[in-house]
C-alpha cells in the first residue's frame, strides 16, 4: 500500500490535467513566451533569431546560468493564457503590466505608448471625437485591442476591426497601402515602420505612456522574479541596457519622411541598374550587398557622376589616392567605383582590432569610411582618455564629434575632423540598410539552382531600363 499512497497524488494531478514546469534552477532551462515583431523576436536572413527582447533575455539567461527555449505565439493574449497554465516561466514580448491578478509584472526596461497611425491621404484624427463612426484596425489579443475597447466605452461608435493572423508591422503595411483608414499600434513599432512605409503618419495617442515589462505568473518562483529585477537594474546601471536600446532603436528616427520616401522610390527606379554590381561586390568581400548599397546611397544617392567640393567622386565617393591604391582608372565608372569602394570598406573593417565585435565593427568601419582610419584611431585614443569604450559604437557616437574641438584634435597627429558628420553617415546607413533588408532579398549565389539563376537573370534584365 505504500507505493499506492505515493502514486495517488500523481494520479490526481494527471486527472486534473495539471503539470508543473520545473524551475530554471532545476531544469537548467528558461522557457520564455514571445511573439514575432520588430521590437521582440525575428529570424534574420541567415536563419538565426534576433531582436531586442531575444537579446535581453539571452543576457539574463547567461547571468543566471541557464539555457533559453523561446516559444513563439501569435498574440499577447496567448502569452497570458499560457503563463496562467504554467506552460512557461515568463513572457518577453513588449508587454505592459497586467490587470489580471493571476499574472505579475517583472521589471520595467522601456516605456512606450499606443498611437493611431494613418495614411498621409486620410483625413487626420486629432481628438477621440474624430474616431466616432470610423473604423480602426488593431491586432487581436494585443494591448492596443484592450485600449480600444476601453476607449469605446466613452465613444461607442468607434468601429474596431481586429486581425488575428497578421502582425503590427503587416497591419501598418495595410494602412500604407490604404487598405484601411487607421490602426492603433505600439509607438516603437510605428517608429520603425514609418521608415519602411513613409506614407504613414502619427495621429492620436490613446491612453498614457506605459512601461514595458517581462510578465510572470502570480505564483512564479520568487527567486526568478528577484533575479530578473536585479538583472535589469544592474544592466541599466552599467549601460548595457542603453547600448541594446541603441542597437535596435537608436537610429530609427534619423530619417525624415521625405528622406524615406525618396529612398524607397529609388530602390524601385535606380537600384535595379546597379544591383548586380553590388552583388558582385558581396561575392568579392563577403559583405551583404544591401549594406554596400546602403553605404553607396549615403555617399552619392546612387549617382555615379557625383562629385564633392573636396574632390571625392563617383558612386562610392572615392578620393583620388584611394582610387589609385585600388587601381581604379575612372572613378565615374559605377562598376569600378562599387568594386573599389566595397573593398576599401572591407579593408577598414579588417583594420579594426579583434576586440571590436559586430555589429559595432561595421558601424565603426562606416564612420572610418567617412573620416579615414587615422581620424578613427585618434578618436579611439580620445575615448580611452575619457574612460569610454573605444570598441562600442554606442560610446564612440559621443566621442567622434569631439574631433572638431581644438582641445581634443590639437593633441592628435591626425588633426581636426568632422566627427559629427561621420556619426550621421553611419546612423543613416544603418537605417538605409534596414529598409533595404525589408524590400530586397539576400543574395545567395551559390545556393541557386540553374533554373533559379536563369529566372533571376531574366528578372534583372526585365527590371533594367533600356539603354
CATH of the domain at 22: 3.40.190.10
In this structure, are 263 and 371 located in the same domain? yes
User: Could you tell me if residue 467 is inside a domain?
Assistant: no
Q: What is the pLDDT of residue 411?
A: 86
Residue 4 counted as domain residue: no
In sequence order, the 6+-apart residues with CB closer than 8 A to the CB of 324 are none
Report which of residues 383 and 208 the model is more confident about: 383
Tally of domains in the chain: 3
Q: Indicate the length of the chain as a whole number.
A: 467
Regarding whether 262 and 337 lie in a shared domain, the answer is: yes
Same domain, yes or no, for 78 and 217?
yes
**Domain limits at 78?**
16-108+213-249
Is residue 6 assigned to a domain? no
**How high is the pLDDT of residue 254?**
80
Range 220-234 average pLDDT: 96
Give phi and psi for 329, each to the nearest 5. Answer: -85, -25
Does 465 score more than 90 pLDDT?
no
Distance CA 285, CA 449 (A): 22
Residues 189 and 218 in one domain: no
For residue 376, tell me if it sits in a domain: yes
State whether 179 and 237 are in the same domain: no
333 and 298 share a domain? yes
Contact 53, 13 (CB under 8 A): no
Question: Quick one: pLDDT at residue 108?
Answer: 95
Catalytic-role residue among 53, 168, 299, 427: 299
Angstrom distance (rounded) from CA 427 to CA 366: 9
- Per residue, the 3-state secondary structure of the chain, as one string, reads CHHHHHHHHHHHHHHCCCCCCCCHHHHCEEEEEEEECCCCEEECCCCCEECHHHHHHHHHHHHHCCEEEEEEECCHHHHHHHHHCCCCCEEEEEECCCCCCCEEEEEEEEEEEEEEEEECCCCCCCCHHHHCCCEEEEECCCHHHHHHHHHHHHCCCCEEEEECCCCHHHHHHHHHCCCCCEEEEEHHHHHHHHHHCCCEEEEEEEEEEEEEEEEEECCCCHHHHHHHHHHHHHHHHCCHHHHHHHHHHCCCCCCCHHHHHHHHHHHHHCHHHCHHHHHHHHHHHCCCHHHHHHHHHHHHCCCCCCECCCCCECCCCECHHHHHHCCCCCCCCHHHHHHHHHHHHHHHHHHCCCCCCCCHHHHHHHHHHHHCHHHHHHHHHHHHHCCCCCCCHHHHHHHHHHHHCHHHHCCCCCCCCCHHHHHHHHHHHHHHHHHHHHHCCCCCHHHCCHHHHHHHHHHHHHHCCCC
Least confident of 45-49, 69-73, 125-129, 145-149: 45-49
303: pLDDT strictly greater than 70: yes
Residue 192 in any domain: the answer is yes
The verdict on 130 and 233 lying in the same domain is: no
43 assigned to some structural domain: yes
Same domain as 341, residue 308: yes
Cα–Cα dist 204/307, whole Å: 43
Tens of pLDDT, residues 161-213:
999 888 899 999 999 998 988 999 999 999 999 989 989 999 999 988 999 99
Which stretch of 25-39, 120-134, 359-373, 420-434 has the lowest confidence by average pLDDT? 120-134
Counting other chains too, the contacts that 61-65 makes at CB distance below 8 Å and 24 or more residues apart are 61/30, 63/227, 63/231, 64/24, 64/30, 64/224, 64/227, 64/231, 65/28
Is 160 inside a domain boundary?
Answer: yes
Contact assessment for residue 236 and residue 110, using Cβ atoms and an 8 Å cutoff: no
- How high is the mean pLDDT of the chain? 89
Give 463's pLDDT tier (boundaries 50, 70, 90). Answer: very low
Question: Is residue 15's pLDDT more than 50?
Answer: no
Query: Domain of 447: which CATH number?
Result: 1.10.530.10
Whether residues 148 and 242 fall in one domain: no
Same domain? 275 vs 406: yes
Tell me whether residue 69 is in a domain.
Answer: yes
Both 203 and 176 in a single domain? yes
Instruction: Looking at the structure, tell me whether residues 313 and 329 fall in a common domain.
Output: yes
299 is catalytic: yes
Amino acid at each position: 500500500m505504500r507505493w499506492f499512497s505515493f502514486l495517488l497524488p500523481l494520479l490526481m494531478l494527471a486527472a486534473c490535467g495539471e503539470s508543473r514546469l520545473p524551475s530554471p534552477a532545476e531544469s537548467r532551462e528558461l522557457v520564455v513566451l514571445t511573439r514575432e515583431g520588430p521590437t521582440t523576436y525575428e529570424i534574420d536572413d541567415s536563419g538565426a533569431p534576433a531582436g531586442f527582447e531575444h537579446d535581453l533575455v539571452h543576457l539574463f539567461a547567461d547571468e543566471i546560468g541557464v539555457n533559453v527555449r523561446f516559444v513563439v505565439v501569435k498574440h499577447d493574449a496567448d502569452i497570458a493564457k499560457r503563463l496562467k497554465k504554467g506552460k512557461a516561466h515568463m513572457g518577453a514580448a513588449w508587454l505592459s503590466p497586467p490587470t489580471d491578478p493571476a499574472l505579475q509584472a517583472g521589471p520595467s526596461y522601456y516605456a512606450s505608448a499606443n498611437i493611431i497611425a494613418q495614411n498621409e491621404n486620410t483625413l487626420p484624427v486629432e481628438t477621440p471625437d474624430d474616431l466616432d463612426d470610423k473604423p480602426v484596425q488593431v491586432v487581436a489579443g494585443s494591448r492596443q485591442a484592450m485600449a480600444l475597447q476601453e476607449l469605446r466605452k466613452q465613444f461607442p461608435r468607434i468601429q474596431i476591426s481586429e486581425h488575428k493572423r497578421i502582425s503590427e508591422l503587416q497591419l501598418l503595411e495595410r494602412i500604407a497601402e490604404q487598405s484601411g483608414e487607421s490602426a492603433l499600434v505600439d509607438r516603437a513599432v510605428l517608429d520603425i515602420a514609418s521608415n519602411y512605409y513613409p506614407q504613414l503618419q502619427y495621429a492620436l495617442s490613446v491612453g498614457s505612456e506605459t512601461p514595458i515589462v517581462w510578465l510572470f505568473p502570480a505564483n512564479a518562483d520568487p527567486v526568478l522574479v528577484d533575479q530578473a529585477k536585479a538583472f535589469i537594474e544592474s544592466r541599466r546601471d552599467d549601460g548595457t541596457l542603453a547600448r541594446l536600446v541603441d542597437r535596435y532603436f537608436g537610429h530609427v528616427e534619423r530619417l525624415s519622411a521625405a528622406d524615406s520616401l525618396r529612398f524607397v522610390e529609388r530602390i524601385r527606379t535606380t537600384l535595379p541598374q546597379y544591383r548586380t554590381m553590388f552583388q558582385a561586390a558581396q561575392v568579392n568581400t563577403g559583405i551583404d550587398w544591401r549594406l554596400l548599397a546602403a553605404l553607396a546611397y549615403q555617399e552619392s544617392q546612387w549617382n555615379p557622376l557625383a562629385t564633392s567640393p573636396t574632390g571625392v567622386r563617383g558612386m562610392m565617393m572615392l578620393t583620388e589616392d584611394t582610387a589609385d591604391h585600388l587601381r581604379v582608372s575612372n572613378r565615374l565608372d559605377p562598376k569600378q567605383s562599387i568594386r573599389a569602394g566595397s573593398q576599401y570598406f572591407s579593408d577598414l573593417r579588417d583594420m579594426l582590432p579583434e576586440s571590436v565585435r559586430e555589429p559595432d565593427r561595421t558601424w565603426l568601419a562606416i564612420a572610418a569610411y567617412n573620416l579615414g582610419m587615422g581620424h578613427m584611431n585618434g578618436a579611439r585614443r580620445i575615448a580611452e582618455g575619457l574612460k569610454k569604450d573605444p570598441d562600442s559604437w554606442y560610446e564612440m557616437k559621443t566621442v567622434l564629434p569631439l574631433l572638431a574641438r581644438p582641445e581634443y584634435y590639437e593633441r592628435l597627429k591626425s588633426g581636426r575632423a568632422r566627427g559629427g558628420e561621420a556619426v550621421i553617415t553611419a546612423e543613416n546607413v544603418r537605417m538605409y540598410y534596414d529598409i533595404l533588408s525589408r524590400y530586397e532579398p539576400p543574395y545567395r549565389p551559390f545556393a541557386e539552382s540553374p533554373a533559379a539563376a536563369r529566372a533571376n537573370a531574366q528578372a534583372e534584365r526585365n527590371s533594367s531600363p533600356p539603354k
